[in-house]
Chain A
Amino acid sequence: MVLLAVALSVFRESVRDRVFYNLLLFAVLLVGASVLVGQMTAGQDVKIIKDLGLSATSLFGLFIAVFVGIGLVWKEVERRSVYSLIAKPVRRQELVLGKYLGLALTLLVNVSIMAVVLYLLLAYMHWASPPELRSAWEAPATDPALLKVFLLLYVQLLLVTAIALFFSTFSSPMLAAALTFGFYVIGHFNADLKHFDAVVTSTPLVWLLRALYYLLPNLAPFDITAQVVHGQPVPTGYLLMTIAYAVVYIAFLLSAASYIFARRDLK
């Protein structure tokens, strides 16, 4: 109950902070691009709209996850409203978890609306295209498999939010943002760490890098945009394994964040 109350208050605050204004920008970007790309891409407009819609969802979501995520705990401390909260029967762990769930709800609404807008635009493009043009598409315009991309994209954003929240429990907002972006970038280069033995001869270093490969968040597997846009299958087992990885990693980050925040001296 406490978790739900905290989560809903974060969601309401997101609405008050006009976080959802990005949806308007998203819609304008997509509709504007759909008018332009048809003239410039030699028949690749559906592919490009899909790429653009999914990338924009990822990018806007990333900014929300990082910039709202780092402020979740910090704002309460900075405004000193945290004192009135911890004076109530709310444990610090519940506060951290509730904040996280609130932002997860904000991201869910955001990603869902973006998915609906993208599907509406693609449905229009399907309707406006002659059958012979549609037959040349690698995947249908309103391909249900796009939902798989949105799902993994959302789960990836949940992981990034957990990273941002974790850093925000013990560092300044600027540092937390820099570290979160750093982890996001590393998360996409992660696979290189595993194969460093090809360029490094020192065995301890190779083992250290391999350990980092397993310890740092691996975000590359969450990106299945290219496969789905080209009509390639994505096995359900792959989706489940990737989601399971995220769930365990998020659980670890939230546990660590709760532990650190519970022991933090707020005086």
Chain B
Amino acid sequence: MSDTRRVRPFVFGLVLATLVVAFVGVQVWRDRVYGEPAPGDSVLYVRSGEALRRLSLSFSPLLADVYWVRAVQYYGGSRLSASTTRRYDLLYPLLDITTSLDPRFNIAYRFGSIFLAENYPGGAGRPDLAIALLEKGFRANPARWQYVQDIGFVYYWWMGDYRHAGEWFTKAADVPGAPWWLRSLAAVTLAQGGDRQSSRRLWQALRETADNDWLRNNANLRLAQLDALDGIDQLTMVVRDFTARSGTIPASWDALVRARLLRGIPLDPTGVPYVLDAGTGEVTVAVESHLNPLPVGSRADRPAR
């Protein structure tokens, strides 16, 4: 074989590699000069779950998985978005399609209702749609008392409607196989409304019945928020005590430590220091704390009677 023949594949390979580097380089250059193409808005071309179920032939469970991944990514993308106007308008249609394609997709109902019910901007702020999704789940799976319990929970926590919450807990208790404590939870909800003690019982119940780590962690977070509210009540009393004694609002936690009213800088259940407003004496959790924002505004922030 001549030298020219031996060299030819090497030269050819080199030319190809150079061309690859060249077209990648031109693309990088163009993106730098004119900016990278903006990602398009999420679009849902087919909104009917029933139509998709039929079109998917025998692949509906797999298509349900695809829509579930889309729903999780859409929720996560919107929630983590830096935009001041987060959008969740496709969340319900995505979850509706997922559960139409696979009516037994348990976690899509339970997670989905949390995503939908959570107050805006952390979630869609649509407890009505969360309830619609859970009702759909219960129609498809009449043995799943958890969905009925979750409806009661949405009424309780996100809507502050304790009468409806109690009614739904009773309905959940009536489902064969439901745990006995649902009936007492219903009674407590109807009698005591949304005080912090009954909120704590509800979240403990949800934690114990969680069939997934994410649900369990969410319940733990809510319980930690209730503990933080307890801590804020105690610290507020200490601040008021100091103000009454000294006639001024403490400028910082150090002032209370020096006055021997506190042993050290008070920390919330996640280990982040509480924040004291030196102007008003108001105590709250820090912005960077995982517990922020606290469920203030609903009656769940009331101490136990």
Contact = CB atoms under 8 A, between A and B. Distances in A.
Interface of A: 37, 40-44, 47-48, 51-52, 54-55, 58-59, 132-133, 136, 138, 184-185, 188-189, 219-220, 222-223, 225-226, 229-230, 232
Contact of A40 (B62, B69, B214): B69
Interface string B110-129: 01000000000000000000
Interface in B205-235: 211-214
Contact of A42 (B62, B64, B104, B111): B111
A42 B72 contact: yes
B107 A42 contact: yes
B2 interface: no
Contacts of A55: 58-59, 61-62
Q: How large is the interface on B (under 10, 10 to 19, 20 to 34, 35 or more residues)?
A: 20 to 34
Contacts of B102: 226
A46 B106 CA distance: 14
Residue among B61, B62, B69, B104 facing the most chain A CB atoms (10 A cut-off): B61
Interface string B60-95: 111011001100110000000000000000000000
Interface in B7-64: 54, 57-62, 64
A138 B212 CA distance: 11
Contacts of B73: 40
A41 B69 contact: yes
B106 A40 contact: no
Contacts of A225: 58, 61
A51 B54 contact: no
A52 B73 CA distance: 19
13 contacts: A37-B69, A42-B72, A42-B111, A43-B213, A43-B214, A48-B65, A48-B68, A52-B62, A55-B58, A133-B213, A189-B54, A225-B61, A229-B61
Given A132-B213, A133-B213, A41 B65 contact: yes
The 8 A-B pairs with the shortest beta carbon distances in the complex, nearest first, are A223-B58, A55-B62, A230-B104, A188-B57, A51-B61, A48-B65, A51-B62, A226-B61
B145 to A, nearest CB: 16
Contact of B106 (A138, A219, A226): A138
Contacts of A37: 69
Nearest to A232: B104
Given A51-B62, A188-B57, A223-B58, A41 B72 contact: yes
Contacts of B106: 138, 230
